Amino acid sequence: MKDFYGTKLETPFMLGTAQYPSPAILSNAFKRSGASVATVSLRREASDAKAGQDFWQLIKELNVHILPNTAGCHTVKEAVTTAHMAREIFGTPWIKLEVIGEEDTLQPDVFGLVEAARILSEEGFQVFPYTTEDLVVADKLVDAGCRVLMPWGAPIGSGMGLNNVFGLRALRSHFPDIPLVVDAGLGLPSQAAQAMELGMDAILLNTAVSKAGDPAKMAEAFALAIRSGQLAEQADPMQPRDMASPSTPLLGKAFLD
């Protein structure tokens, strides 16, 4: 597994911390998932002083890497300001950078994203940009200092899976040395397995687990699927072909006259 700004993750699973029915269910979901990274919204942490402290204590007890995010930011200034606040509160240079440009799809504003990524990289942040699968945008993000790319699978919270398999495969081919994390849009473990089979380095999701009838069981299901897809990609799977190929060889087969 590739390193993320010099950090080797124990598992390629990053899990969000929002919208769980209770703190106990959140904690149990993380335990069952084996996730190595928790994404945390600054708004959730700071919305209420006491509640924020209790939530932060819960996250620390998960004993995982913390990836603060700039969720809900729509401008470069807002995202950069939020990132600085997150670094102060959470004590990490990691930041999942979101600059939202369209309300219905929550599609990233890629122009603002590149600008914010450059500013934050120059200020010592280690940026994890939430982006589209566009190759040109990805190249500009790398030029801006990003050493990780987080292309979406589909719009946030949609559960539609991988809307552009070709685009993700092209990203993998063009950026073989950059860690790629599919972020957003996954609804089923099978979709996570598919992403890992494409050669992605990790999966980040939230809604598919937190909104499941049994979040802990769904978290474990995703963990197993991610591991399965990872093993499948490492095993050098067979490639599709147009014609049938017999699995039982004809050599040595008895023929009757």
Q: Is 163 exposed, middle or buried (0-12, 13-18, 19+ CB in 10 A)?
A: middle
Task: Please give the Cα distance from 65 to 42 (Å, whole number).
Answer: 15
Which is the catalytic residue, given 96, 140, 217, 253? 96
Q: Which residue has the tokens 């993750």?
A: 9
Q: Do the annotations mark residue 157 as ligand-binding?
A: yes
140 annotated active-site:
no
For residue 185, say whether it is annotated as part of any ligand binding site: yes
Locate all alpha helices (DSSP H) within the chain, ordered by sequence. 23-33, 42-46, 49-61, 76-90, 110-122, 135-143, 165-174, 189-197, 207-210, 215-234
Strand pairing of 126-131 and 150-151? parallel
Strand partners, 180: 149
Rounded to whole angstroms, how far apart are CA atoms 207 and 205? 6
207 annotated ligand-binding residue: yes
Q: Is 159 annotated as a binding residue?
A: no
18 is in an annotated binding site: no
**Of 256, 202, 252, 257, the residue nearest 226 (C-alpha):** 202
Binding-site positions for 1-deoxy-D-xylulose 5-phosphate:
157, 184-185, 206-207
Binding-site positions:
157, 184-185, 206-207
Q: Which residues are catalytic?
A: 96
